[in-house]
Chain A
Amino acid sequence: MHLALYVIKRLLLAVPTFFFIIILIFVMIRVAPGDPAVFLAGSRGEVDLELVEKIRAKYGFDRPIYEQLVIYFGNIFSGDFGDSFIENRPALIVVMERLPATLVLILPTLIVSIVFGIAIGIYVGRGYFSKKGQIILGVSHLLFSTPLIVLGPILMLIFGIYLRIFPTSGMTTMYTGGTTLVYILNVLYHTFLPLLTISLGFYIPQLIQISAATIAEVERQDFVVTYRAIGLDERRLFNRHVFKNSLFPIVTLAGVWISYAVTGAVFTETIFGWPGIGRLMYESILTRDYNVLTLIFILTAINVEVVMIIIDVLYAIIDPRVRY
């Protein structure tokens, strides 16, 4: 079947998927108990329920779901994702404002994780059944099974509180401005602990596991044994044949990570007070800021879907059997 046809089919399939996802997200969020009115009313709302009712009526929280849904859909097509009730600004601006912060954290994290994870994984993979390899795998399993909400505070305690060499939270402490270079350095200084947490606790162990297993498996394939037998030197063997064949699962994994990396760092961002989208999601849940929450979920869904499409198409290009 023709590649182009496959791609078009794939894209068309995405459209109804999106519709369904948006409806699902919208309804789920609003059907859950509680609404922003109580939070908006604040401490006065504690003894003044009329105020809470007024706020509810003003924003239309008490109108039936389908009505709200129709209005929301109508607005989306003109690019209006509603206003954040809490901040009284367009939800799109609220979310986009926080996006750079998350990217500043996630991109270096991914780069560092991929570099170190694959490097260590290769090292382990080549000596998979050696003691060293097994120990490293054991430690990486331990790190992966430790939840981020435990690992984060542990690292914070060691480096931030006892040793006091890294800040415990926040993205920057340059309160009164300064040169751009100093600002960048300051931000990097603040990324260290959250980066370490996510890398050690999530990405690196998985990369080690996968790359080690894949490399160990490829090394045992017939063609590798053959190449070795005819005397091809190890380095060339590795770089040209083993490594490239092992990349496939790693690339898939990394691709998926990039797609939900944006909201995947909720725990870390909250613990380390990082002003990114993950933390925004957490705050929006607490305050029932529907529009912002819906927008974040939609963005994530779009992200994931786009990456899935790319991966599907890549597979189809590489392996003709896949095109259905």
Chain B
Amino acid sequence: MNLNRIKIAAIALCVTLPLIMPLFQLTHAQQPRYGGTFVRTEGYKITSLNSLMVPSPGSNARACRAIYDNLVTMNVNFEVLPSLAEEWDISDDGTVYTFKLVKNASWHDGQPFTAKDVKFTYDMIFELDDYYARTLISLVEEVKMIDDYTIEMVLSSPDATFLTNLADLYSNSQIILPEHLWNGTDYETNPHNESPIGTGPFKFSEWVRGSFLTLEANENYWRGKPYLDTYVIREFTDVSTIVAALAAGEVDHDFSAEASVVPPTESTRLANQNDDLELFLWPGTRIYHIQFNMRVAPFNDTRVRQAIAYALDRDRIVDIVTDGSQEASKHMYIEDHWATNPDVVYPDVDLEEAKRLLDEAGYPEGTDGVRMKLQFIGVQSVTSECELIVQDLTKVGIDAELIVNEWSWYVENIIEGVLQDPYAFTFAMRGGSHGPDPGKFEDYLGTGRTSGNMMNYSNADVDNLFAMGKDTADPEVRKDYYYQIQEIIYDDMPRLNWRMGTEYLLYKTEWHGLWFLNSDLGYQDMSKVWSEKGELPATPWIEVYLPYIIAAVVIVVAIAGIYSYTRYRSKGRN
């Protein structure tokens, strides 16, 4: 070959190769790899591996998510997804639910999963009448087994929250237990409370109390074998220990749910300082809010409550304590939720308006600039914010003393205390889950709901709207009711939303397939998690080498084409 042709061949190669390179990327990137051990932190003691009977503390619920399945589950956007029930029908009047179950699920001991297990589990829940699992589905009257893979549940009246409750995001009390291992046994002493057999993606391996829980992959999982080999849940008692473990790279994931054990500023700092740690913020359903005691002065006057809303520079304070990662609540309900009324927003900070309202309500500035002296009850997990709140209030002449104690004190002296003594508190910070279904908001606003409604707020219209909202399953109609509720409570202002109790989910960047990054996956579903450091599955050689083959063919064709073209050209000249 002469030099010219070689040059041309080289040029041809340079042109074609860039077009072929993407083929290599396609096959090797983002293909799930097998193997690895995933270690998650758990900030609360695990006390039982049967969350149907012992859902608290939340650590039990979380551990059981990997071992057991429910009929349905919920994704990171609070949408109900099928689980053991692959599809369902709801009767027109909303009282009969017919669930079609998956046919290929089996228990960790090899027995097949059938409707018998579901029927038994719900019979057991009915038997354990006192337990939370029963109260969660209180409207269910009867559970019938239609055939081996069909279950029918009959409710006494329609319940829009029913499917959400079956997913039971936080307590996981609706797990399905194997009939052949539980029927006829003493539920409390059954050994499977400590060595569980479920249908979930991970099998029980070892439980060293106080240290860790080891789960191994269930090869026969009905959704497909998990990529992970082992899933370990490591128990921690102290926040600083968790932070140290994350900083040293000893754990893969920190998911401290329901008021993160690790404070927001720590999580953000860890993510910023460590290249191999990523942070995902999940707003969740907890709302920190201030409740006003409407029984006594000064908060029996709407204007005073509204004055507080104007007086607090909520954006500034939240920005400080969360290091800019979060914003203060703007709306009456969970931010970005389908039931949240986007038009009803809290006013911006306006100290003049606050002072005007306080003057109007009959609390003028004294000679020392103080209008009133109050006590503000704080919550331990947001102490620094409460201190800043108290500071802000001095700007409008309210001298508030901050009192913070632990939760059991709060329950005794504030929540229960105010029922004995209406002066037990004037205003207090409070947390709590408000969802995922808006029906839960009634716990905080309903007449007589003294556990969540410390304010003594009572509005018949609100109560009616909640009742109607629960009765219908049509989301558009429900939305309208909840929108109305929010308009009413904006006018009444019995409480002031502070910020979402956002979960700070830290994870090592090597991990893919995490449930909060993929809305196809259910809550805490670990079955699709894989690591970049894992091994590729054994692929047929044709798949692996195909891009090389295509590249070789293209290059040969290109060279041959150019070669013959040049020969043709030179021949032509002859």
A binds B: yes
Q: Which residues on A sit within 8 Å (CB–CB) of B205?
A: 176
Q: A38-B411, A169-B241, A273-B237 are in contact. Are A164 and B208 (CB under 8 A)?
A: no
Bound Cα distance from A29 to B451, whole angstroms: 27
Contact B408 A49 (CB under 8 A): no
Bound Cα distance from A282 to B239, whole angstroms: 14
Contact B241 A51 (CB under 8 A): no
Which of B47, B170, B244 has a CB less than 8 Å from the CB of A160? B244
Contact A33 B408 (CB under 8 A): yes
Q: Which residues on B sit within 8 Å (CB–CB) of A44?
A: 55-56, 132, 171
Q: Tell me, yes or no, whether A47 is within 8 Å of chain B by CB.
A: yes
Q: Tell me, yes or no, whether B130 is within 8 Å of chain A by CB.
A: yes
CB nearest neighbor in B for A50: B451
Q: A33-B409, A43-B433, A47-B452 are in contact. Are A97 and B209 (CB under 8 A)?
A: yes
Which of B54, B245, B258, B406 has a CB less than 8 Å from the CB of A169? B245
Within 8 A of B (CB), among A218-233: none
Bound Cα distance from A39 to B188, whole angstroms: 20
Q: Which residues on B sit within 8 Å (CB–CB) of A87?
A: 45, 47-48, 209
Q: Tell me, yes or no, whether B206 is within 8 Å of chain A by CB.
A: yes
Which of A33, A40, A275, A279 has a CB less than 8 Å from the CB of B56? A40
Bound Cα distance from A46 to B259, whole angstroms: 13
Bound Cα distance from A132 to B94, whole angstroms: 86
Q: Tell me, yes or no, whether B247 is within 8 Å of chain A by CB.
A: yes
CB nearest neighbor in A for B431: A46
Q: A39-B57, A170-B211 are in contact. Are A161 and B248 (CB under 8 A)?
A: yes
Q: Which residues on A sit within 8 Å (CB–CB) of B248?
A: 160-161, 164, 167-168
Contact A168 B245 (CB under 8 A): yes
Contact B236 A88 (CB under 8 A): no
Contact B211 A46 (CB under 8 A): no
Within 8 A of B (CB), among A264-311: 270-273, 275, 279-280, 282-283, 287-288
Q: A43-B170, A54-B130 are in contact. Are A282 and B237 (CB under 8 A)?
A: yes
Q: How many residues of B contact A (CB 8 A)?
A: 57
Within 8 A of A (CB), among B239-291: 240-241, 244-245, 247-250, 258
Q: Which residues on B sit within 8 Å (CB–CB) of A208?
A: none
Q: Which residues on B sit within 8 Å (CB–CB) of A49?
A: 411, 415-416, 450-451
Within 8 A of B (CB), among A181-234: none
Bound Cα distance from A97 to B170, whole angstroms: 30
Bound Cα distance from A176 to B237, whole angstroms: 22
Q: Tell me, yes or no, whether A52 is within 8 Å of chain B by CB.
A: yes
Task: Give the size category of A's interface with B.
Answer: 35 or more
Bound Cα distance from A86 to B237, whole angstroms: 15
Contact A38 B407 (CB under 8 A): yes
Bound Cα distance from A280 to B45, whole angstroms: 11
Contact B210 A275 (CB under 8 A): yes
Contact B412 A34 (CB under 8 A): yes
Within 8 A of A (CB), among B512-556: none
Bound Cα distance from A189 to B416, whole angstroms: 49
Q: Tell me, yes or no, whether B463 is within 8 Å of chain A by CB.
A: no
Bound Cα distance from A172 to B452, whole angstroms: 42
Which of A176, A272, A279 has a CB less than 8 Å from the CB of B230? A176
Within 8 A of B (CB), among A82-110: 86-88, 97-98
The residue in A40, A47, A167 that gathers the most chain B C-beta atoms within 10 A of its C-beta is A47
In angstroms, how far is the closest chain B Cβ from the Cβ of A111? 24
Q: Which residues on B sit within 8 Å (CB–CB) of A280?
A: 210
Q: Tell me, yes or no, whether B504 is within 8 Å of chain A by CB.
A: no
Q: Tell me, yes or no, whether B238 is within 8 Å of chain A by CB.
A: yes
Q: Tell me, yes or no, whether A124 is within 8 Å of chain B by CB.
A: no
In angstroms, how far is the closest chain A Cβ from the Cβ of B430? 9
Which of B249, B258, B411, B412 has a CB less than 8 Å from the CB of A43? B258
In angstroms, how far is the closest chain B Cβ from the Cβ of A144? 22
Q: Tell me, yes or no, whether A171 is within 8 Å of chain B by CB.
A: yes
Bound Cα distance from A228 to B237, whole angstroms: 57
Which of A34, A45, A97, A176 has a CB less than 8 Å from the CB of B409? A34
Q: Which residues on A sit within 8 Å (CB–CB) of B232?
A: 175
* Cβ contacts A59-84/B at 8 Å (1 or 0 each): 00000000000000000000000000
Q: Tell me, yes or no, whether B481 is within 8 Å of chain A by CB.
A: no
Contact A168 B250 (CB under 8 A): yes
In angstroms, how far is the closest chain A Cβ from the Cβ of B244? 4
Q: Tell me, yes or no, whether B432 is within 8 Å of chain A by CB.
A: yes
Q: Which residues on B sit within 8 Å (CB–CB) of A273?
A: 235-238, 241, 245
Q: Which residues on B sit within 8 Å (CB–CB) of A43?
A: 56-58, 170-171, 258, 433
Contact B452 A46 (CB under 8 A): yes
Q: A88-B47, A175-B37, A275-B211 are in contact. Are A46 and B406 (CB under 8 A)?
A: no
Contact A283 B408 (CB under 8 A): no
Q: Which residues on A sit within 8 Å (CB–CB) of B258?
A: 43
Q: Which residues on B sit within 8 Å (CB–CB) of A33?
A: 408-409, 412
Which of A168, A172, A275, A288 has a CB less than 8 Å from the CB of B408? A288
Contact B451 A275 (CB under 8 A): no
In angstroms, how far is the closest chain A Cβ from the Cβ of B40? 12
Q: Which residues on B sit within 8 Å (CB–CB) of A52?
A: 411
Q: Tell me, yes or no, whether A133 is within 8 Å of chain B by CB.
A: no
Within 8 A of A (CB), among B1-55: 37, 39, 45, 47-48, 54-55
* Cβ contacts B428-443/A at 8 Å (1 or 0 each): 0001110000000001
Which of B54, B130, B244, B408 has a CB less than 8 Å from the CB of A39? B408
Q: Which residues on A sit within 8 Å (CB–CB) of B247?
A: 161, 168
Q: A33-B409, A270-B238 are in contact. Are A176 and B171 (CB under 8 A)?
A: no
Q: Tell me, yes or no, whether A153 is within 8 Å of chain B by CB.
A: yes
Contact A98 B451 (CB under 8 A): no
Q: Which residues on B sit within 8 Å (CB–CB) of A173?
A: 250
Q: Tell me, yes or no, whether B212 is within 8 Å of chain A by CB.
A: yes
Bound Cα distance from A153 to B240, whole angstroms: 8
In angstroms, how far is the closest chain A Cβ from the Cβ of B160? 19
Contact A271 B45 (CB under 8 A): no
Contact A86 B58 (CB under 8 A): no
Q: Which residues on B sit within 8 Å (CB–CB) of A172?
A: 211
Q: Which residues on A sit within 8 Å (CB–CB) of B408?
A: 33-35, 38-39, 288
Q: Tell me, yes or no, whether A177 is within 8 Å of chain B by CB.
A: yes
Bound Cα distance from A167 to B249, whole angstroms: 10
Contact A47 B451 (CB under 8 A): yes
Q: Tell me, yes or no, whether A22 is within 8 Å of chain B by CB.
A: no
Contact A42 B58 (CB under 8 A): yes
Q: Assuming A43-B258, A153-B244, A272-B241, what are 16 further A-B pairs, CB within 8 angstroms?
A: A33-B408, A42-B58, A43-B433, A44-B171, A49-B415, A54-B130, A97-B209, A161-B248, A171-B211, A175-B39, A175-B214, A176-B214, A271-B238, A279-B210, A287-B45, A288-B408
9 A-B pairs in the complex with CB atoms less than 8 angstroms apart: A34-B412, A38-B407, A42-B57, A48-B443, A49-B451, A52-B411, A168-B244, A273-B241, A282-B237
Interface of B toward A, CB cutoff 8 Å: 37, 39, 45, 47-48, 54-58, 130, 132, 170-171, 188, 205-206, 208-212, 214, 216, 230, 232, 234-238, 240-241, 244-245, 247-250, 258, 406-409, 411-412, 415-416, 431-433, 443-444, 449-452
